Amino acid sequence: MPGDSGRVDTGTAHAARIYDYLLGGTDHYPPDREAGDAMCREWPALPVHMRANRDWLNRAVRRLARQAGVRQFLDIGSGLPTSPNSHEIAQAEAPESRVVYVDNDPLVRSLSQGLLNGSPAGLTAYVEADLRDPAAVLGSPALLETLDLGAPVALTVVAIVHFLLDEDDAVGAVRRLLEPLPSGSYLAMSVGTADFAPVEVGRVAAAYADRGMPMRLRTRAETAEFFTGLDLLPPGIVQVHRWHPEPGSGTAVRDEDIAMYGAVARKP
């Protein structure tokens, strides 16, 4: 969750805006475009990888709402509004769904109205907080007014923990967010990895680090640490394009073009 609360810095590249640029969005500035173009020169598959991650999030939310009956979602590191957003998918399945978005990027805050126009039967809210401070997330009045923490919640932590270094204790932060959630809650995560294209992904990581955004990429075994004590849903921890792909879509993407594991697990 790179970036600090405060004014929007348009003179420095930012991970959320690079992501938006490579997904074809409009909320980015020249440094973000320069960074995105430079990274694509290092690894031309980067936009494919980012789109696959976003598609995975959409499928995970839809599956949790449709098949698991989840009606509450806590989206950590939500990023810039990108339609369909999580609340649009969840409320399309169940209009009464409630979604809280959490980010610490001032640009996300300024554009958060796009995250709050939900179904009249449901609720959406935005919390400005940091994954590294779970107490601030869970103690936010907006969260407590929107979600019932006595009922199951799906915690989504998508494409963000690779920006938390070892000293940030990413596994501990996620566990502290899960701790107060009741049995029957879910954790849906995508986790950056260099397991499948180590040279190319390493160059992209170096390009982020050169711009003040160091990364901590994780192996499959390290990814599994986030799910200790939880019941993984099939197919377990796999590359995001291989997690319940839409018919005919999964085979169109090469494994070496994806640098993200994805998994969903239930809290017993």
* pLDDT tens-place string over residues 107-162: 777 776 666 777 888 999 999 999 999 999 999 999 999 999 999 999 999 999 99
* Alpha-carbon span 165 to 146, nearest angstrom: 31
Chain centroid, CA 11 distance in Å: 24
Segments forming the whole domain that contains residue 254: 15-266
> Quick check: 101 and 127 in contact, CB under 8 A?
yes
Task: Tell if the pTM clears 0.75, that is, is over it.
Answer: yes
Residue 8 lies in a domain: no
- Average pLDDT on 158-169 reads 96
For 264, the enclosing helix (H) or strand (E) is strand 260-266
pLDDT for position 5: 41
- How many domains does the structure of the chain reveal? 1
Residue 1 lies in a domain: no
Residue 222 has pLDDT above 60, yes or no: yes
- Average pLDDT on 48-65 reads 96
Residue 68 has pLDDT above 80, yes or no: yes
Residue 240 lies in a domain: yes
Confidence class for position 3, pLDDT limits 50, 70, 90 = very low
Residue 56 lies in a domain: yes
- Which CATH number fits the domain that encloses residue 147? 3.40.50.150
pLDDT for position 59: 97
Confidence class for position 11, pLDDT limits 50, 70, 90 = confident
Residue 166 has pLDDT above 60, yes or no: yes
Confidence class for position 73, pLDDT limits 50, 70, 90 = very high
pLDDT for position 120: 86
Give backbone dihedrals phi and psi of 186, rounded to 5 degrees, phi first: -135, 150
Residue 8 has pLDDT above 80, yes or no: no
Residue 9 lies in a domain: no
Residue 205 lies in a domain: yes
pLDDT for position 91: 96
Which amino acid, 18? I
Residue 256 lies in a domain: yes
Residue 262 lies in a domain: yes
Which residues contact residue 10 at a Cβ distance below 8 angstroms, ignoring those fewer than 6 apart? 29, 31
> Quick check: 85 and 115 in contact, CB under 8 A?
yes
